[in-house]
Chain A
Amino acid sequence: MQPITLRGRAIVEGRCKAEALVSTTPISFLGGVDPADGKVAEKNHDLCGKCIKDKVLCFPHGHGSTVGSYVLYSLAKKKLAPKAIVNQKADPVVVVGAIIADIPMIDQIDITQIKTSDLVEVDVYNGFVKVLKRKES
């Protein structure tokens, strides 16, 4: 396939290449993600039971308690954090979380162009997300 390049706004600098985990639902990190194992714990969430460790985590935006920022820090300390965060519209909880946990983050990306298990490259320095390889479906 031809790589698809999606341009966005840099939030936290960094660069990585990893598998995407894509959600259509906002994520609340406090209560929504288990800080002990990095799995989405919120019932009825489309990622429920999925582990966010080492993924390029794509979701529309965060919501819920601002304590959620600290959950991202805690996940990073336990090496359970995502490799990068890709949002449609950044919100304060996730932005602060990504800063303190030092997780590359970019927003204003059309995440509907990315599918779970796609291999994606995130380059926040240059402000883009590139879908390199689509998972065979």
Chain B
Amino acid sequence: MYLTKEEERIYDGEFGWANQICMKILVRLGELFNATRLIPINSAHVSGVSYKTLGDAPSDFLEALANADARVKVKATLNPQSFDREYLCKKLPQYLCQKQLDIMTYFEKMGFTESLTCTPYYLENPKRGSHLAWAESSAVIYANSVTGAWTNREGGPSALAAAIIGKTPNYGIHKAENRQPKVLVKLEKQLQSEVEFGALGIFLGKILEDKIPIIQDLQNASKDNLKQLGAALASTGMVNMFYCETRDIKFSEIEKIKVETRDIKQTIEDLTTTSTPEPDLVFVGCPHCSLNEIKQASELIGNGKIKDGTEFWVCTLHYIKEKARKYVEKIEKSGGHILTDTCAVVTWTDKLGIETIMTNSAKTAHYAPTLNKAETIFAPLKECLKTAFKG
């Protein structure tokens, strides 16, 4: 790999251990994937923030980096942590919250913004064609497919290293030749609800391997639905990008897959693991809700009141919650909770006595049985709200 004079000096340790170790991570990864040089990035997004998913191991490294004066060179955002500051932090054991706060201290010291979200594109939509180093698979696939930015699916540590150096090695999806679609996906029927979009993602992820799909009949799909599709696709698959337009493709030269209505139906059924009609938690906001999704929820709730024994969570980022003030007030008045900085998957739902989670997110329905040790009910927003509220 070619390094500039300055990059070499960082590599040799002239700018301290923290910069050196981050540079080594980038160079070795670059060599592993045949990168030829480092390229500047516009932003970095780091996953591995929640103490629930991290455990104790990373604290040591993050602390060492922060204390060795590692500082971010570009705009750097963080994935959600394990609680929000208003609701869950008061319900969870204090020692767990303290561990999380320690982790946050290290990140803040390094200059990361405190916006804890899996949808950093709501804070600032990355420019088309700009290079990023993002972790969090749902954000990566959204950035590549919906906003047209270019980012590999980084791991937590490599995104961290990229944030500190402000660069990333030019391999994988940073190269135009690796962004070509390899499979044409035809749908038997146009998709309707967000649940069908999510199910398509789960289904495709399992069969596509690393082949980028171009999916027909999605030109009119909303960004919210594409967010669900991408998050699910990245959960079960290795692809970091999909196309939903039919430009520049010679269809005769490309592999074709037909997705039948019964495939979607079967996938939706499989994402529900229980026959109980009464979940402990109804959860929307995986990935974090857009302003529009909060508005929809608030309108559908109407004058409803939360049912006894049921929790309703809307997870989003602080920035969107502020913008959604009037909808937020309505949802809170009806007994629901708008939680920022966290989500059901990265918090300890089991410690809150939650055994069954109902959600409109295919990604959550896919992960909750293992990451939350919970049963799942997978259904569209409308049904979720009907279950959570009366009246």
Give Cα A35–Cα B60 distance, bound, in whole angstroms.
12
Q: Which of A14-22, A89-97, A121-129 contacts B (4 or more CB under 8 A)?
A: A89-97
| Minimum CB–CB distance for A125 against chain B, Å | 16
A96 contacts B57, CB within 8 Å? no
Give Cα A74–Cα B60 distance, bound, in whole angstroms.
7
A30: chain B residues within 8 A (beta carbon): 55, 57
Cβ of A66 within 8 Å of any chain B Cβ, yes or no, is: yes
Which A residue's beta carbon lies closest to that of B159? A66
Evaluate whether A66 and B60 lie within 8 angstroms (CB atoms) in the complex, with A93-B155, A99-B25, A100-B157 already known.
no
| Minimum CB–CB distance for B158 against chain A, Å | 6
- Contact pick for B54, options A70, A92, A96, A99, CB 8 Å: A70
B57 contacts A70, CB within 8 Å? yes
Give Cα A92–Cα B238 distance, bound, in whole angstroms.
14
Cβ of B32 within 8 Å of any chain A Cβ, yes or no, is: yes
Cβ of B127 within 8 Å of any chain A Cβ, yes or no, is: no
- How many A-B contacts if CB must be within 8 Å? 72
Cβ of A43 within 8 Å of any chain B Cβ, yes or no, is: no
Cβ of A135 within 8 Å of any chain B Cβ, yes or no, is: no
Evaluate whether A99 and B60 lie within 8 angstroms (CB atoms) in the complex, with A67-B53, A70-B54, A70-B157 already known.
no
A71 contacts B57, CB within 8 Å? yes
A47: chain B residues within 8 A (beta carbon): none
A100 contacts B158, CB within 8 Å? no
B55: chain A residues within 8 A (beta carbon): 30, 35, 67
Give Cα A73–Cα B54 distance, bound, in whole angstroms.
13
Give Cα A66–Cα B161 distance, bound, in whole angstroms.
13
A65: chain B residues within 8 A (beta carbon): 48, 53, 155
Evaluate whether A69 and B157 lie within 8 angstroms (CB atoms) in the complex, with A92-B32, A96-B29, A99-B28 already known.
yes
B157 contacts A66, CB within 8 Å? yes
A67 contacts B158, CB within 8 Å? no
| Minimum CB–CB distance for B300 against chain A, Å | 36
Cβ of B224 within 8 Å of any chain A Cβ, yes or no, is: no
A66: chain B residues within 8 A (beta carbon): 47-48, 135, 154-158
Closest 5 CB pairs of A and B: A66-B155, A70-B58, A74-B57, A70-B57, A73-B61
Known: A35-B56, A35-B57, A70-B57; 11 extra A-B contacts, CB below 8 A, are: A11-B28, A67-B156, A70-B54, A70-B61, A70-B157, A73-B58, A90-B32, A95-B29, A96-B157, A100-B21, A100-B61
- 13 chain-A/chain-B pairs, Cβ below 8 angstroms: A66-B154, A66-B158, A69-B157, A70-B48, A70-B157, A73-B60, A74-B57, A77-B60, A92-B155, A95-B28, A95-B29, A99-B24, A99-B28
